Amino acid sequence: MGIAIRTGSPLSLNLAEPVWKQLAGMTLTPADLTEVDRDYVPGLLCIRDMEPDDKVFHTLEMPFSTPSAYGNDVPLSTRYRRIMLENRLEYVKLALNYR
């Protein structure tokens, strides 16, 4: 990178499209994340699109956290402990942004 800067030569960076979008300050969509992590997005979309039945969310007991790249659970909010009907859209948004 240093040589490219000193010589004024273009540097070919093959980064995934979501990385470029983040560098440009654009908002990521589930489709962007699917390009990088195909297993994670379907679960988020399932949570987002579940029928609005409050009993289902109480039986699932899903924590308001997401796994990091190292496998550790990362809390996404200090306000919520579990994913519920009322906060599921916020969870999906925060999980996408974290990921």
pLDDT, tens digit (0-9, with 9 covering 90-100), for 43-57:
888 888 888 777 777
DSSP codes joined into one string, 43-93: HHHHHHHS-S-HHHHHHH--BSEEE-TTS-EEES-SS-SB--TTTHHHHHH
What is residue 50's predicted lDDT score, i.e. its pLDDT? 84
What is the spatial distance between Cα 93 and Cα 76, in angstroms, rounded to a whole number?
A: 10
What is the spatial distance between Cα 38 and Cα 46, in angstroms, rounded to a whole number?
A: 14
Mean pLDDT taken over the chain: 84
**pLDDT, mean of residues 64-79:** 89
**pLDDT, mean of residues 16-42:** 82
**Distances in Å between the alpha carbon of 34 and those of 37, 55, 99?**
5, 29, 11
Q: How far is CA 68 from the centre of its chain?
A: 10
Contact 47, 65 (CB under 8 A): no
